[in-house]
């Protein structure tokens, strides 16, 4: 039996003992005597009688255990040309003062605090300060639209808001304060106070009686101690970036999060305490919560907080500079970041300018990784490239290659095998298990492991209805795929993106793999458009490599033929169009559902998380050029 198989089998057959053993690796004020309370499924509770504190495990524990002078956070901002290093001792000092600053104005156990911040150290400090005093933080991506921020204010009813005066994008400054003021005006709930971190690029006006100068208040605050909380106390609320309906407030508990996230750092990512770990994401997303702030600090690592882009700040060598300068051992980012780098520097010339010999692994997640991007990264970085699959709801990987247990062979297009704790199945519409290789709904047998979401914020009925009703006894991931004969998982599309062409269920992800394999294609997306004859037909959107000067019609004909050759005529793939760029969320997910609505001519809502709304006008024009929506 392989090392991975042994660990995985223990996590499924004896899950309570497995996770109680893992729980011994963190600090508890009261060690749990029980691993799992399963008395009210699907509302499972891990370590129900334990007491602990997330900030203590992330900061104070390391100060006490000899890491006080180790760097905890590296802030690297190519936009401002600033770099700063914060030790664990310095982090403890600042976090305890910010926690005290909040306590002085009445923020305490169970109170909610919205964090509306850019990628600066104060964002992480704000999160940890809330955790220190048992307040529940809800990070909203800095610069989010006022009406979307207002919805979140009304849902979680924060006692206070921590915000910066502005965020910085390449070539522009985004002022946060006008958006914050408008959101509070729109919201029914009004926070008691807003703490403003003034940035020199755009200082904000102060509203007397409500707004407080953060820097000044922090300097005068009395440091606060860590507050012991129940294991099941809510650590944070993070709203999912759904494109329809009200956002869902995913809740994360405290004890289960500390145990699972700390466990993943060694067992999945293969890093040791003291090493530099970089998740190139944003604190507004689940990756930022789990792997910029909490997991690396729980494990005693140095984490990188990067205010920049993969390209354009200043060039496609931006990531390589950070890895080289800070001796990054593991990089975790989204495939879309690598597609952007590959598009601008297909031959990897910028990469050759830096010493990347310290890099051990590249992990990719957030969007399905096409084999072409994975192979490009492998060829240029000369390290294992690990595609792994997880969701906001789970908080850490559902499927991955556990490099710290056993590095298994990589299969292009697969996030490898289930992570310990996850019993995965592929089910058909009737709830029957699919045979190996057949596409169906990817589900996880209950209970989910520690660190996943125990409920939705003040919406228990929606929690059950959205995730546990379609396949009773199982968590419905919303993703479709298959498991092969070796047990490897292939996540092919969101369930809604499996299209039905004349009765044949086809994966858009499989078609995207073929398109991405064309030498001139940097990035692509396939969605199913309504068709009067076949029900649905696939439509491909292509972004070409920089510098490609070939005829676009020729390239479209070539990819159409390529799909016909590699998948077959059954795909009915006859429409492709070249676009300048694809619409994405700020976290890098391609908005296929929105493009599908445009192609179908049906009503759609501007996604709150879209990176640039103007892209949708370009997409609409491009689709019109190839006959979509169809004339009725």
Angle, in degrees to the nearest 10, between helices 371-381 and 335-344: 70
Q: What is the largest CA-CA distance in the chain?
A: 71
Cβ atoms within 10 A of the Cβ of 169, count? Answer: 15
Q: For residue 631, what pLDDT is reported?
A: 65
Residues of CATH 3.30.300.30 domain(s) within the chain?
A: 502-625
Distance CA 148, CA 163 (A): 15
Hey, which bits of 327-448 come out as E strands? 328-333, 361-364, 385-387, 399-400, 417-418, 424-427, 440-445
Whole-number average pLDDT of the chain? 93
Write out the DSSP string of 76-123.
EETTTTEEEEEEHHHHHHHHHHHHHHHHHTT--TT-EEEEE--SSHHH
In 3D space, the residue among 258, 261, 248, 241 whose CA is nearest the CA of residue 396 turns out to be: 261
Whole-Å CA distances, 83 to 76, 80, 289, 328: 5, 9, 21, 15
Q: For residue 588, what pLDDT is reported?
A: 76
Does residue 15 contact residue 38 with C-beta atoms inside 8 Å?
A: no
Does residue 100 contact residue 195 with C-beta atoms inside 8 Å?
A: no
Q: For residue 532, what pLDDT is reported?
A: 74
pLDDT band for position 244 (cuts 50, 70, 90): very low
Q: What is the pLDDT of residues 519-571, one digit of tens each?
A: 999 999 998 888 877 778 899 999 999 999 999 999 999 999 999 888 877 78
State yes or no: pLDDT of 630 exceeds 90: no
In whole angstroms, what separates CA 317 from the centre of its chain?
A: 23
State yes or no: pLDDT of 243 exceeds 50: no
Q: Compute the average pLDDT of residues 300-313.
A: 97
Whole-Å CA distances, 612 to 144, 177, 391: 12, 20, 23
**CB-based contacts of 621, cutoff 8 Å, min separation 6:** none
Tell me what percent of the residues of the chain surpass a pLDDT of 90: 81
Q: Assign residue 421 a region: left if phi > 0, alpha if psi is -120 to 50, beta otherwise?
A: left
Write out the DSSP string of 212-240.
EEHHHHHHHPPPPPPPPEETTSEEEEEE-
Q: What is the pLDDT of residues 131-141, one digit of tens each?
A: 999 999 999 98
Which range has the worst mean pLDDT, 233-242, 290-299, 379-388, 582-591?
582-591
State yes or no: pLDDT of 31 exceeds 50: yes
Higher pLDDT, 243 or 469: 469
Q: For residue 240, what pLDDT is reported?
A: 84
Write out the DSSP string of 315-350.
STTHHHHHHHHHTEEEEEE-HHHHHHHHHH-TT-TT
Tell me what percent of the residues of the chain surpass a pLDDT of 70: 98
Q: What is the pLDDT of residues 416-451, one digit of tens each?
A: 999 999 999 999 989 999 999 999 999 999 999 999
State yes or no: pLDDT of 632 exceeds 70: no
CATH class of 502-625: alpha beta
Pairing of strands 504-507, 521-531: unpaired
Q: What is the DSSP letter of 435?
A: P
Total residue count of the chain as it appears in this document: 632
Q: For residue 621, what pLDDT is reported?
A: 92
Cβ atoms within 10 A of the Cβ of 246, count? Answer: 12
State yes or no: pLDDT of 199 exceeds 60: yes
State yes or no: pLDDT of 503 exceeds 70: no
Q: What is the pLDDT of residues 466-495, one digit of tens each?
A: 999 999 999 999 999 999 999 999 998 777
State both tokens at 405: 């247990």
Which range has the worst mean pLDDT, 48-52, 68-72, 394-398, 596-600?
596-600
Higher pLDDT, 629 or 112: 112
Whole-Å CA distances, 443 to 261, 434, 440, 470, 481: 22, 12, 9, 10, 10
State yes or no: pLDDT of 163 exceeds 80: yes
Residues of CATH 3.40.50.12780 domain(s) within the chain?
A: 3-308+388-481
pTM of the model: 0.87
Fold designation for 3-308+388-481? Rossmann fold (3.40.50)
pLDDT band for position 245 (cuts 50, 70, 90): low
Angle, in degrees to the nearest 10, between helices 614-625 and 592-600: 50
Q: What is the pLDDT of residues 79-130, one digit of tens each?
A: 999 999 999 999 999 999 999 999 999 999 999 999 999 999 999 999 999 9
pLDDT band for position 144 (cuts 50, 70, 90): confident
Hey, which residues does 252 pair with through a beta bridge? 236
Q: Assign residue 631 a region: left if phi > 0, alpha if psi is -120 to 50, beta otherwise?
A: beta
Determine the Cα angle at 454 with ends 227 and 115, to 5°.
55
């Amino acid at each position: 039996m392989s090392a991975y198989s042994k660990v995985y089998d223990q996590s499924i057959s004896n899950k309570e003992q497995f996770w109680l053993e893992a729980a011994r690796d963190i600090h508890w004020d009261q060690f749990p005597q029980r691993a799992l309370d399963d008395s009210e499924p699907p509302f499972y509770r891990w370590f129900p009688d334990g007491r602990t504190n997330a900030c203590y495990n992330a900061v104070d524990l390391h100060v006490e255990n000899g890491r006080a002078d180790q760097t905890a956070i590296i802030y690297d901002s190519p936009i401002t040309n600033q770099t700063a290093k914060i030790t664990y001792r310095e982090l403890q000092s600042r976090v305890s003062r910010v926690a005290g600053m909040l306590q002085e104005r009445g923020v305490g156990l169970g109170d909610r605090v919205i964090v509306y911040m850019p990628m600066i150290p104060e964002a992480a400090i704000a999160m940890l300060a809330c955790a220190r005093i048992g307040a529940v933080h809800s990070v909203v991506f800095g610069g989010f639209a006022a009406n979307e921020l207002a919805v979140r204010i009304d849902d979680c009813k924060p006692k206070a808001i921590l915000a910066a005066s502005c965020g910085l994008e390449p070539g522009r400054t985004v002022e946060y304060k006008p958006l914050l003021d408008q959101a509070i005006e729109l919201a029914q709930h009004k926070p008691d106070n807003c703490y403003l971190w003034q940035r020199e690029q755009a200082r904000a006006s102060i509203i007397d009686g409500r707004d407080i100068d953060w820097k000044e208040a922090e300097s005068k605050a009395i440091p606060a101690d860590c507050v012991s909380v129940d294991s099941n106390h809510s650590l944070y609320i993070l709203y999912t970036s759904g494109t329809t309906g009200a956002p869902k407030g995913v809740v994360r508990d405290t004890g289960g999060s500390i145990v699972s996230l700390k466990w993943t750092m060694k067992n999945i990512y293969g890093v040791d305490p003291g090493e530099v770990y970089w998740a190139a994401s944003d604190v507004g997303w689940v990756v930022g919560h789990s792997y910029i702030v909490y997991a690396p600090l729980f494990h005693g690592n140095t984490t990188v907080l990067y205010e920049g882009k993969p390209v354009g700040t200043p060039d496609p060598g931006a990531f390589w500079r950070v890895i080289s300068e800070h001796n990054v051992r593991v990089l975790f980012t989204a495939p879309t970041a690598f597609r952007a780098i590959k598009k601008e520097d297909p031959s990897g010339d910028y990469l050759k300018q830096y010493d990347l010999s310290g890099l051990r692994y590249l992990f990719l997640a957030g969007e399905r990784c096409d084999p072409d991007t994975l192979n490009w990264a492998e060829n240029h970085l000369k390290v294992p490239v690990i595609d792994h699959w997880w969701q906001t709801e789970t908080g850490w990987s559902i499927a991955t290659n556990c490099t710290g247990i056993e590095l298994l062979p990589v299969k292009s297009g697969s996030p490898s095998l289930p992570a310990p704790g996850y019993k995965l199945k592929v089910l058909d519409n009737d709830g029957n298990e699919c045979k190996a290789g057949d596409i169906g709904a990817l589900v996880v047998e209950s209970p989910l492991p520690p660190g996943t979401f125990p409920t939705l914020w003040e919406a228990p009925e929606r929690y059950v209805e959205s995730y546990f009703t379609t396949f009773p006894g199982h968590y419905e991931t919303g993703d479709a795929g298959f498991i092969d004969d070796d047990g490897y998982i292939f996540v092919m599309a969101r369930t809604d993106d499996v299209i039905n062409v004349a009765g044949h269920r086809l994966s858009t992800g499989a078609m995207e793999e073929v398109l991405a394999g064309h030498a001139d294609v940097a990035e692509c997306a396939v969605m199913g458009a309504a068709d009067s004859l076949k029900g649905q037909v696939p439509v491909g959107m292509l972004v070409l490599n920089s510098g490609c000067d070939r005829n676009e019609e020729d390239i479209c004909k070539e990819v159409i033929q390529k799909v016909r050759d590699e998948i077959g005529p059954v795909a009915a793939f006859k429409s492709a169009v070249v676009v300048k760029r694809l619409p994405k969320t700020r976290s890098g997910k391609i908005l296929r559902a929105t493009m599908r609505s445009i192609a179908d001519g049906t009503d759609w809502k501007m996604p709150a998380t879209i990176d640039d709304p103007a892209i949708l006008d370009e997409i609409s024009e491009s689709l019109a050029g190839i006959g979509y929506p169809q004339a009725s």
